[in-house]
Structure 1
């Protein structure tokens, strides 16, 4: 029996159309965008975007570049730079400090940020870094919320300034330490969320990324071994209308560099409608990022398809016989590189023996979970 959903159900499960809406009848797959594209913001999303080409010294994309967003974990860049400031060109980070700095930069560890924030002056950290880097829009958390480092205000243009300092002005050891850790960004963050959205999903390596996410509607992370996410200052709820920064809508941000020699600096800040799931926000920031003109970037090849169901397992081969590598965010759009027949999977009343290879995970999911009209996905080559 063909396992496909009825048309009406498929329309409900599909994550977005060409412009990011969930309208019935929207195509299930999304082709890779051409390099000459410009910013395409999905419906319902607010965005601040900057793409700076270091080779030409010019911006190739600018959208709401001075708009302030709550930084979420992107502020950890400033925490790391504050720690490293003035250490000198021959400075080597001690092992004890690497033990918290590396997870904070690679896996967005919140406990490390909490400790550094409380032990080193909290908002004074932001005040110091604003002065040192000449940041124009960055501001401390609102009055009454000073303990919440994730509520630090940050803009796309200030984020470009931070990366330009790192790449062009910082002492070599500082540049190498911070950027080296961002190049080793782990797919699974410390809180269990899949953090390879945005830049990490749109472009092939080399890239270096620092991501951010905060939202009470986001389901608990299930990337890698299933775990329970712990509430942190970055994710804690706050009243609407605090200062001039929206603290209510779910946030998802992707920042970093793309291309050989860190050719392009990219900052993408997004806010999503209240109640948006993590998988939907993940898909929307991915579509926005793929629309950008990013010089030096190598774009991921394949077809983007929506998925359905919660906690879909990514397997090392087209079989359920081995432990999963990780689990997908619920309903997320994925890049399919090729497909092959494998173990037959049953999700009553449906059955399918085709499997989709996901190159960005180096793993497989049963095509029973792909939003496609047939068991074999149209347009996708055989592996």
Structure 2
């Protein structure tokens, strides 16, 4: 989906209400829930500011897990669905309460979330979240190269939040460039960018239903690119994809980048 904030209309849309597992795209909602649940005017502790930076810039999974647990897990999603007015988003399945990356969302709800950030969120919250997304690192905390999709396909200025799941806990080829080191708060098992324990298999777990709404495929890899494009953040772009079973990350990234270029060409204002 491509949404033009100048006209207030979508310029391109395809299956905008299809639900995908979110992978790390949900970290925007996790950050918003943490920031907007705080008492107005209270300073964010230095440790939490560091966690927010790592989670949003370098997609650090341990940081997301720390906020997810503090926020009551699925309660994070329940609160944000009500606050933002999301229609397709739902918490992870009841049997996977700690798996924030199994949150279900759609392209339409991703666009609503960015619009909420830009148009309704407190300016301090907006500037903090978007400041990190504008400075997303090439290398994620888990050594995956997260400059696929928007960062590779489109020129700056942009602000992005990427998502990937189903490619294991470490990439076949490690990313070379700036990355964040591990945070001090850790989880009991290494996680991939879906919030899925790296030792767990999803084979045969296709199309599990979340708490509400249509089933969500939890088996095949997913790769998502989302963000704001252009001067004044004019365009909101959300490209969510379910990749072939067994797909390599490098191949999926190339496909998504090519798709993002085509989406932008079709959806950009004339």
> Which TM-score applies when normalising by structure 1?
0.61
Query: What residue is the counterpart of 2:175 in the other structure?
Result: 223
SS in 1 for 2:81: helix
Q: Please list the CA deviations of residues 260-315 of structure 1 after superposition, one character each: whole Å capped at 9, or x if unmatched.
A: 10000011100111111001000000011000234379xxxxxxxxxxxxxxxxxx
Query: What residue is the counterpart of 1:246 in the other structure?
Result: 217
Of the three residues 243, 247, 264, the one matched with 1:272 is: 243
Of the three residues 228, 252, 255, the one matched with 1:281 is: 252
Q: Is the 8 A contact 1:89 1:173 kept in 2?
A: no
Q: Is the 8 A contact 1:258 1:296 kept in 2?
A: no
Stretches of structure 2 lacking an aligned partner (at least 5 in a row) = 182-188, 210-214
Deviation at residue 120 of structure 1 after TM alignment: 1.8
Q: Is the 8 A contact 2:167 2:249 kept in 1?
A: no
Deviation at residue 86 of structure 1 after TM alignment: 5.0
Bigger Rg over Cα: 1
Stretches of structure 1 lacking an aligned partner (at least 5 in a row) = 1-49, 298-383
Query: What residue is the counterpart of 1:6 in the other structure?
Result: none
Deviation at residue 118 of structure 1 after TM alignment: 1.6
CA distance in 1, matches of 2:167, 2:15: 25
Q: CA RMSD in A?
A: 2.3
Of the three residues 130, 133, 136, the one matched with 1:185 is: 136
Deviation at residue 143 of structure 1 after TM alignment: 2.5
Q: Is the 8 A contact 1:210 1:254 kept in 2?
A: yes
Q: Which has the higher strand share?
A: 1
Q: Is the 8 A contact 2:143 2:171 kept in 1?
A: no
SS in 1 for 2:139: coil
Deviation at residue 234 of structure 1 after TM alignment: 2.1
Query: What residue is the counterpart of 1:295 in the other structure?
Result: 268
Q: Is the 8 A contact 1:88 1:171 kept in 2?
A: no
Query: What residue is the counterpart of 1:25 in the other structure?
Result: none
Of the three residues 234, 254, 263, the one matched with 2:195 is: 234
Q: Please list the CA deviations of residues 125-151 of structure 1 after superposition, one character each: whole Å capped at 9, or x if unmatched.
A: 000100111100000111211111000
Q: Which has the higher helix share?
A: 2
Deviation at residue 219 of structure 1 after TM alignment: 3.7
CA distance in 2, matches of 1:57, 1:89: 30
Query: What residue is the counterpart of 2:230 in the other structure?
Result: 259
Deviation at residue 119 of structure 1 after TM alignment: 2.1
Of the three residues 202, 205, 214, the one matched with 2:153 is: 202
